[in-house]
Each structure stands twice: as structure tokens, then as C-alpha cells.
Amino acid sequence: MEDVRILDAITTPRDLKALTDEELAILAQEIREEIIAVTATNGGHVASSLGAVESILAVHSLIDTPEDHLVFDVGHQAYAHKLLTGRREAFETLRQYKGLSGFTKPSESIYDVHCSGHASDSLSIATGLAKARRLKGTDEKIVAFIGDAALSGGMAFEALNYMGTEQLPICIILNDNEMAISRNVGALMRHLGSLRASSSYRTARDEFQERLESNGPLGSAFYHFGKSLKESVKQFVLPHTMIFEQLGIVCTAPIDGHDIPTLKETLSVVLSMDAPVLVHVVTRKGAGYEPAERDPEHFHGVGPYDIATGKPKAKPSAVPSYTAVFGQALEQAAEADERVVAITAAMEGGTGLKPFAQKFPDRFVDVGIAEEQAVAMAAGLAAAGMKPVVAIYSTFMQRAIDQLIIDCALPDFNVVFALDRAGIVGEDGATHHGVFDLVYTRMVPHLRVLAPSDEAELARALPTALALGGPVAIRYPRGTAQGVEIPSDPELLPLGKSRVLREGTDGALLGFGSLVHPALEAAELLAAQGLELRVVDMRWVKPLDDDALVAAAQTPLVVTLEDGVIAGGAGEGVAGRMSELGLEVPQLLLGIPDRFVAHGKPALLYEELGLDGPGIAQAVLQKLQRS
């Protein structure tokens, strides 16, 4: 007979209200076991979700979602939330093709408030919900769950400033998984935090201020003396709260994020308040799973792993990833030129810059989750004669388009943008697919755009970009490279020149970046049917190779292939340029259609989109037959 789990009896969060604190603690362990079991097979964001289990349980046991609102920042921490909101049976499909998303998603559940994929936006979403509550005259609870890293983002501070000014009733749970609680001051800190979080304290403080100020100059002077003394004590005892207090937000002292009774006691007070309050919750990333606790950075986002050891199930590939190739190329560039500086936004490991940071610590900058700061800082470095290389995921670079345009491109500064994870990225889904960068880079004057098709081309692209002067973007995909030999001393790529990989007269396949190799596969399939198509690695998205376009126009069909959105992308750039050149020939633009692409293994998604070899061959054949 199988053991009966509490988790199996939970169908909605309201079921938690019937559980004792001891039963909630048992449920927390069951949730951890379920998260570990599923992510060991599917991969996922393990460490952060394990660390947030008790906090999520405590919140859901006190509020009534979906009438009340629980907003997650990013969604890395939301696996327990999914298990508690009617998705337990489907949880085994997490991050799988046509299965549950790895992030919160309103179309998936009424308990999910927004699509949480990019950091630092939860507080802004919460301010909108709280403003709507005030306008409608309702009384729903609004809780925003944000990590300490996401709180460093500028957008979070903009939201804090607004909610403090408007005194919007929002409970902010700051999930701090970096600090530890000191036993010497823990009890005092909890006491002061509870006192300052109580409505009676705030009322008494405000009334005291009003009475003193109404008693003329003497009373006002006494108030300001008392206020100065109070602020001095606060700065001595509670220095971590001062920035929030100055913004008009009450801040509790740090509490143990794995202590359910303490969490519930604190949150029950905070949720009764009609003002913004930040609950400082200290947790351990990977809590309850020793491999994740030992290496939380690795377990931030992992593929399938062995539960007993925590080691990846997949054997390491002898072929390097594009990210690793970029990191090696950047090290080589920095050795040759002391002006090269690397900048990233909380993605030191993800962008392959760890070896660079160790080798050139003075020339490595991690600005945190602050892409706008990264790009604008790069502009300042370039203005001072340095050669900054900004390594950011394509999807996150979307947050700094203004700085890209105004601070870097307008003055024509020598800044290189290394856009990692370009194209379809896989199981992280719509919020993380890098399918828009060909649009937001193509549209910017002065900016040149490179799309290397393999690791050798990437090794050539970086020194080319550094040598050009002016802003240059290099986009490359996630995952293992093609396995071609990387030149030890890569030559520079000629500006705006492509290379022909296969000759043919029945049509021309103009490939950009990662779709060059599927184009070659499609050409092989079409050759078996008696059609010979030219395959061109375009290399440059901007400027385009006019000679390659003229040559392509001599065939019956020109096909463009890109792993970005068609609307405004490279294909439309080719079509526009051919029109300018007076080249009239039937064209077929293949790329991401005008919709968001869900999550799943990249191979499945490319097949669904018709952007694998067979899909491309079929589309070309149909177009040629219609023509």
C-alpha cells in the first residue's frame, strides 16, 4: 500500500487553511520531493523553487487566491505554487513540449497573475493591482514575491517609489537567500520588526507627530529632536531597513523563511495593514536537497540530473557550446588589447565569462539585474577609449533598447553586444526565446549586426566587431556548437560579405546564423528530387551583401531563413534591399511567425515551425510548384 500524501489531497490553496503548522511542514517536505523528482527528469529551476516552499505555503494558507493576488517575480520560485493550484497531476509535464510552463502563465491557470519571465517586474504589476483595488473600492490582498537579486533591478525601485508615495496596500515578500540570521540579535530584530509592522505602531507614530507639530515651535522642535534620535537608533540597529523606510515602506526585521509559524504570524499582521510593507524573509537556496544547497548556482537552472548525486544525466559533449567559444574568444581579445572590458548583468556563468572574470578581474563588470546600467556604462567606457563587450541574453537585451540607441549608437561608440541565446532557446519558453533581436538591432542606425553560423565564424566575429569601431551586435544560439575546427588565429571577416556554401541554379537559400545548417540539409533533400539550390551563409544581417542578392536574383526563387520573427527581421531586410536594387524575383521568407512560441525542446519547436531541414525543403518545393 502506497503512503498517503497530504499533497495528494490539496486541490486548491484554500485546502491549506485546514492544516496545522505541523502538517504544513510535512507538506513542505512532500512538495520538495515532488519538485526534485520531476526536475531530475525534466530539468528546471531547482534551487530557487526549493528555497521558497515554506513562504509560498504560508502565504497561500492566509490569503484567498485567485480573488486575492500572489504575484511572482520571474517565476523561478513558483513550482510549489503550481503544485498547490490544481496542477499537481500535470506537474510531471513541467517544461515539456505542450506541458506546464516553467513560469507563471495566466493562460495556464487562474491563479497565475502574469507571465513572469523577466526579473524585477512583480512590484510594478502589484502596484497596478493595488491601484485597481483602490479605484474599485475592493479589499483583495496583494502579495508580491521577489528575490533579493531581482530587487536590485531599477524597475523594482521605480515601483517601490510609487507604492511608497501612494501608500498602496501591498505585502512584499523579499526572498533573501544570501544572508543568514544572527542568533545574537534575531529575537530583538523580530520584535522590532513586528512592532513596526503593526498598524497600532504606525497610527501611534502618526498621531504623536500630529500632536507635537500642533503645539507650535516648541512641540515641533521636540518632535524633530525625537525623530532624529529615533532615526539614529534605527540606523544603528536596523540599517538594512533604511532605504525602504525612506521610500515610505515599512520593513520587518529578517525572519526565517523556513519557519512556517513565524512566517504566518508575521504575514497575518502585515496583511491586515492598509499600507506597503516589506517582509524580509531569509531562505536557503536548494533547501532540503544537499546537492542544490552545496551548489545553488549550478542548480539555478539545470537539465536532467541524478537525484542521489545531483550530477547531470547527460554526458558532457566534446563539442563546446557557443557560449564557451565566445568566452574563449573574449579572453583572447583581452590578452591582445588591455582596453577590452567585459560587462554582464547577473549572468557571469550564463554568458561564459567566469574564466574571464578570474583572469581579468579588474576588467570584468557584473552590474546585477540592470541591463540598462550595463549598456549605458558601456557607452561611458567607450567614450573614455575602452572597448566594452556587453554579454547579455538576447531576450534580456530587450530591456535596454533605449540605451542601445541613444547612448551607444547615436554617438557611434565602439561597443560590442554579444547576444547569447539568440533564436529558440527551448524549455524556458516564450519569455526567453531570443527571437526579436534581429528587429531591434536592424532598425538602429550605425549598428552593424553579425550572425555567425558556427563556432569558427563566432571566433572570427568577435575580433572583427572589436576592430570595426562603432557599435556591433553579434548574435549566437544557445547550446552545443557545430563541431567545426576553431581557428587559433582567426582572420577578420570582410564587412558586409557573405560566403557561398553550395552552388545551385534552381533557387537560392540565404541563411542567417543557426539556420544556415538546416538550409544545407534542405538543399540535400531537394537535390534528391532533382533540384539544385544555392546555399549562402549571409554572415551579416546589416549591412547586407548586395553582390549575394544580385546573384540570388538570377535564380527562380530567393528564400531567406532566420531564427527570429519575420516581421521586421532579416528576411524583410533582404526583400527591401532587393527592391531598392531593382531586383524582381519571387521570394519566400521563412522564420518565426507572428505569434509567441511555447516551450519545448528546440528540435521539436523548429520542426513545428517548419524551420528544420525537412520543413524548409517542403516549403521551398511548394513555393516552386506554385510559382
Residues carrying an active site annotation: 285, 371, 399
d(CA 78, CA 91): 12
- Give the Cβ contact number of residue 627 at 10 Å: 11
Task: Reduce the secondary structure of 575-605 to three states and give it as a string.
Answer: HHHHHHCCCCCCEEEEEECCCCCCCCCHHHH
d(CA 500, CA 310): 45
Q: Measuring CA to CA, which residue among 476, 494, 491, 475 is closest to residue 543?
A: 494
User: Roughly how many angstroms between the first and final C-alpha of the chain, as a whole number?
Assistant: 66
d(CA 230, CA 217): 20
> 499 - beta bridge partners?
537
- Contact criterion met (CB below 8 Å) for 149 and 119: yes
Amino acid at 105: K
> 428 - beta bridge partners?
none
Q: Measuring CA to CA, which residue among 314, 281, 320 is closest to residue 476?
A: 320
Torsion of CA 342, 345, 350, 355, to 10 degrees: 30
List of residues 6+ apart from 391 with CB closer than 8 A: 326, 330, 342, 343, 344, 347, 351, 352, 353, 418, 420
- Quick check: bond before 614 cis, omega within 30? no
- Contact criterion met (CB below 8 Å) for 129 and 138: no
Three-state DSSP state, 174: strand
d(CA 551, CA 510): 11
What CA–CA distances, in Å, run from 602 to 428, 479, 509, 549?
10, 10, 22, 30
- Contact criterion met (CB below 8 Å) for 24 and 48: no
- Contact criterion met (CB below 8 Å) for 95 and 102: yes
d(CA 411, CA 376): 12
- Contact criterion met (CB below 8 Å) for 79 and 85: no
Amino acid at 430: A
Q: Helix crossing, 322-336 with 455-468: angle to 10°?
A: 40
